[in-house]
Amino acid sequence: MNARMIARSLRPIARTATPVVRMGSVRAMSGSHAHENESFESFSARYEQFFGQVQDLFELQRGLNNCFAYDLVPSTGVIEAALRAARRVNDYSTAVRIFEGIREKVENKGQYEAYLNELKGVREELGIDTKEELYSS
């Protein structure tokens, strides 16, 4: 058989093998996100609860990535829960990096200082220094 005959014989098979896409299934997948209209209070409560239940480093880092991905600065309650989770899973470096994340999220140094002052008791209780304190000259 030559190539033309093979191509002609396979052409009807190729046409019937074309997948059919239903628009209904596409629309179902493109629905709104569950947390799209979440208030700051419910956001804070959700992440405080999440960090309160964290049992391993992967979970903690995944939660921090998700939490800091939002266009807001997490509340001090959320940060405290995250710090306690970092110490619970025995990862001091993540605890220090939480403060680096806050420093990057806030608009100015005054807001960062306010977070440090608000969380001073927790920092002392858990023995967590900031990067600036660790590398001060």
Note the pLDDT tens digit of each residue in 85-133.
Answer: 999 999 999 999 999 999 999 999 999 999 999 999 999 999 999 999 9
Tell whether 33 is covered by a domain. no
Angstrom CA distances, 34 to 4, 43, 48, 57, 78, stand at: 54, 12, 18, 25, 20
Q: Are 67 and 82 in contact (CB under 8 A)?
A: yes
Tell whether 86 is covered by a domain. yes
Tell whether 5 is covered by a domain. no
Give the mean pLDDT of the chain: 84
Task: Return the number of other C-beta atoms located less than 10 Å from residue 114's C-beta.
Answer: 13
Nearest to 111 by CA among 136, 75, 77, 80: 75
Q: Are 75 and 40 in contact (CB under 8 A)?
A: yes
What is the CATH classification number for the domain harbouring 99? 1.25.40.40
Tell whether 47 is covered by a domain. yes
Parent domain of 124:
40-134
The per-residue pLDDT for 82 is 98
Number of structural domains the chain divides into: 1
**Amino acid making up residue 55:** Q
Tell whether 48 is covered by a domain. yes
Q: Quick check: 2 pLDDT over 70?
A: no
pTM over 0.75: no
Tell whether 112 is covered by a domain. yes
Q: Quick check: 1 pLDDT over 60?
A: no
* Length of the chain, in residues: 137
